[in-house]
């Protein structure tokens, strides 16, 4: 697309079938999966820094079963990515310090298709590309790894 500015023409020529080459390798890391509907908060994003890398930014609308990041371990983890910070009347000089978050890793369509496992899907809309679990309900998903 970038070389031809969208004016390129692609043709294919069928050459034949090949013997089965074996199973397609899957990724070895798990996924961070949102467990409820809402907007991503900075407080919850900060808590996910040590669990893996996020694919969604602060303020993004998420729903239960949506993949919000890649986990640094092999199994999937359901996370509360919309958790708010508890407010108190007591103020501390260190609690008001600003925290900088790493920007989210935004996946292209090709990267999303390459990332998904057998129990995951890619949702494509005109506004966004999202990853989700095949089964959205956390209590019915089974551990496959």
Residue 8 lies in a domain: no
Q: Which domain holds residue 49?
A: 31-85+101-133
pLDDT score, position 102: 85
Residue 12 lies in a domain: no
Residue 24 lies in a domain: no
pLDDT score, position 67: 94
Q: Quote the DSSP letter at residue 54.
A: E
Distance CA 81, CA 35 (A): 8
pLDDT score, position 82: 92
CATH of the domain at 67: 2.40.50.250
Residue 15 lies in a domain: no
Closest CA to 31 of 53, 49, 14: 53
Count of domains observed in the chain:
1
Residue 13 lies in a domain: no
Residue 141 lies in a domain: no
pLDDT score, position 37: 94
Residue 47 lies in a domain: yes
pLDDT score, position 2: 65
pLDDT score, position 143: 57
pLDDT values of the chain reduced to their tens digit, one per residue, 145 residues: 567 777 788 788 888 899 998 887 778 899 999 999 999 999 899 888 889 999 999 999 999 999 999 999 988 999 999 998 887 777 766 655 566 788 899 999 999 999 998 889 999 999 999 999 998 887 787 655 4
CB neighbours (10 Å) of residue 40?
Answer: 22
Closest CA to 71 of 83, 62, 61, 81: 81
pLDDT score, position 145: 45
């Amino acid at each position: 697309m970038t070389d031809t500015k969208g004016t390129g023409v692609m043709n294919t020529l069928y050459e034949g079938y090949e013997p089965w080459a074996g199973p397609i390798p899957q990724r070895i890391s798990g996924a961070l999966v949102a467990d409820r509907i809402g907007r991503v908060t900075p407080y919850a994003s900060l808590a996910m820094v040590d669990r893996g890398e996020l694919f969604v930014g602060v303020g993004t609308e998420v729903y239960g079963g949506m993949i919000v990041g890649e986990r640094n371990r092999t199994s999937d983890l359901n996370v509360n990515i919309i958790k708010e910070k508890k407010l108190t009347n007591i103020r501390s000089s260190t609690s008001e310090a600003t925290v900088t978050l790493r920007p989210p890793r935004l996946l292209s369509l090709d990267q999303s298709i390459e990332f998904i496992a057998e129990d995951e899907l890619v949702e494509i809309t005109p506004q966004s590309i999202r990853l989700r679990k095949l089964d959205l309900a956390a209590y019915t998903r089974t551990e496959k790894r």
